[in-house]
Amino acid sequence: MKVDVLLGLQWGDEGKGKVVDVLTPKYDVVARFQGGPNAGHTLEFEGQKYVLRSIPSGIFQGDKVNIIGNGVVLAPDLFMDEAKELEKSGHELRSRLHISKKAHLIMPTHRLLDAANEAAKGKNKVGTTGKGIGPTYTDKISRNGLRVGDILDNFQEKYAAHKARHEEMLRALNYTDYDITDIEKHWMEGIDYMRQFELVDSEHEVNRLLKEGKSILCEGAQGTMLDVDFGSYPFVTSSNTICAGACTGLGLGPNKIGEVYGIIKAYCTRVGAGPFPTELFDETGNQIRAIGHEYGAVTGRERRCGWIDLVALKYAIMVNGVTKLIMMKSDVLDGFETIKACVAYNQRGHIIDFFPYDINQGIEPVYVEMPGWKQDLTKCTSESEFPQAFKDYIEFLEQQLETPIAIISVGPDREQTIERG
Ligand code: GDP
Ligand code: IMO
Ligand code: MG
């Protein structure tokens, strides 16, 4: 049995949550391997809409085991709020959601440090989600982190020592005007709440499950262009969002990886600061935002919108070893006369077809333009119903990206998903 990995190839919000939910019936286990509550994964079915942040998107499909792996950073208060909300709507979690003891805890002071770091950056702000992601991963790498397993023994003492260290850092950043009394109380309730879940050595669990013949789907968060090594650094998140992150974030050998599903939108979006070569600042960009409801699932921030960027996608396919593509939000382009796709960059007068080191400067997209299909895709239930111009768009993307598109999504609902033969 192998492990399949599903991840975003753009700047996040590709529609990963929806696809994980759709694919979960084929798997025994769904596991998150990186990121934390910076994620917002939206699922829609039976007229209901759910947004998941730390809990894997396999939680709605029967009795599957869902795992939060060691590579994840977890905020106990936000986790508790999210889990209680699901329990309220009738989704029992405790027996099926396992949490790695090696996952790192996001403390209230990590969130303050996130804000303080952003303030100190002035006009070079990353535009983080403010959830304390960067400072928590920084503590992990500098060997100062507090882990889920720490709550099992002498926790208050450890917490106080970490908090004192953070307070010193905040003073050094001149960030002293805060009161976290209420937040801290809620956070400690979250710690107690977490104790009701199975806290596991997830690397042992996933490898044991594999040996027993179980199949696992790994759910990525964020997207490849936000990867700390390969994304548009420094405008990235603080984890490895690429396929290799599934190995380090769950304790899996690379030889265990089977399919690598790369999720793309039929266009492209980004939230937060940083380069985005195909960004549209005109009416077309506004139209994509309005039709695609391109506002952050968690923060409500406006998403920047633009055409699909095949140069960046080829790079993302390469660093992930993508075997199959899944295209989302095709229906958003239904009404457009023409559709554009970026096939090269003009970098200060030089035409290049690869994603360069200095993506932050002087990139102009070179586009190929195609006729739009001008037809409603949302009711399509099979490939044969697709208009010819949409079929041509799919074929063009497959040729350019040298990777098959296995699934096409034509609306937010679970049912609006077409698997290709
Ligand atoms: P994720 O972070 O990758 O899981 O994606 P988000 O949930 O942040 O953003 C994707 C948004 O697009 C959500 O609001 C989904 O409900 C919605 N969505 C997903 N697939 C489709 C689709 O094929 N068409 C349309 N119109 N919306 C979709
Ligand atoms: P999902 O899983 C889109 C962006 C932030 C910011 C940068 C760093 O829903 O696709 P962070 O808080 O991680 O330190 O912010 O990364 N970002 C996302 N953008 N979707 C996400 O997650 C994101 N998670 C982080 O906007 O630019
Ligand atoms: Mg999202």
8 A C-beta contact, residue 298 and residue 53 = yes
| Dihedral, 88, 89, 91, 97 alpha carbons, nearest 10 | -60
pLDDT of residue 70: 98
pLDDT of residue 300: 86
Which atom of ligand 2 is least distant from the CA of 14?
Answer: 10
**Strands 65-68 and 97-100, how do they pair?**
parallel
CA of 158 to the centre of ligand 2 (A): 29
Which ligand does the CA of 412 lie closest to?
A: 1
Token pair in block for residue 418: 């077409």
Q: Average pLDDT of 3-15?
A: 98
* Residue 62's pLDDT band (cuts 50, 70, 90): confident
Ligand 2 atom 15: residue of nearest CA: 128
Which atom of ligand 1 is least distant from the CA of 416?
Answer: 23
Q: Average pLDDT of 288-297?
A: 94
Ligand 1 atom 6: residue of nearest CA: 13
pLDDT of residue 344: 98
Catalytic residues: 13, 41
Q: What is the per-residue pLDDT across 125-168, written as a single tens digit (0 to 9) for each?
A: 999 999 999 999 999 999 999 999 999 999 999 999 999 999 99
CA of 52 to the centre of ligand 3 (A): 9
CA of 182 to the centre of ligand 3 (A): 28
Q: Which residues are near ligand 2 (CB < 6 Å)?
A: 8, 11-13, 38-41, 126-129, 131, 133-134, 221-223, 226, 237-238, 271-272
Res 296 pLDDT > 90 = no
Decide whether any atom of ligand 1 lies within 6 Å of the 44 Cβ: yes
CA of 40 to the centre of ligand 3 (A): 4
| Dihedral, 208, 317, 420, 29 alpha carbons, nearest 10 | 20
> For all residues of the chain together, what is the average pLDDT?
96
Q: CB under 8 Å to 111, separation ≥6 — which residues?
A: 75, 130, 131, 132, 135
* Residue 63's pLDDT band (cuts 50, 70, 90): confident
* Residue 400's pLDDT band (cuts 50, 70, 90): very high
Which of residues 109 and 62 earns the better pLDDT score? 109
Distance from C-alpha of 35 to C-alpha of 137, rounded to nearest angstrom: 9
Cα-based distances in Å from 10 to 125, 242, 250, 347: 20, 11, 23, 20
Q: What is the per-residue pLDDT across 125-137, written as a single tens digit (0 to 9) for each?
A: 999 999 999 999 9
Nearest 5°: CA angle at 127, between 125 and 132?
A: 105
Tell if the pTM clears 0.95, that is, is over it: yes
Res 377 pLDDT > 90 = yes
Which atom of ligand 2 is least distant from the CA of 114?
Answer: 14
Residues with CB under 5 Å of ion ligand 3 are 13, 40, 297
Which of 9-13, 86-90, 285-289 has the lowest average pLDDT?
86-90
Q: Average pLDDT of 96-116?
A: 98
Helix (H) or strand (E) holding 365: strand 363-371
* Residue 184's pLDDT band (cuts 50, 70, 90): very high
Q: Average pLDDT of 98-108?
A: 98
Decide whether any atom of ligand 1 lies within 6 Å of the 417 Cβ: no
Q: What is the per-residue pLDDT across 320-355, written as a single tens digit (0 to 9) for each?
A: 999 999 999 999 999 999 999 999 999 999 999 999
Which ligand does the CA of 44 lie closest to?
A: 1
Look at phi and psi of residue 127 and say left if phi exceeds 0, alpha if psi is from -120 to 50, else beta.
left
How many CA atoms lie within 13 Å of 262's alpha carbon, on the beta-carbon side? 29
Residues in the chain: 421
Closest CA to 34 of 220, 217, 203: 220
The residue written with tokens 């690869």 in the block is: 354
Res 105 pLDDT > 80 = yes
* Residue 361's pLDDT band (cuts 50, 70, 90): confident
Decide whether any atom of ligand 1 lies within 6 Å of the 13 Cβ: yes
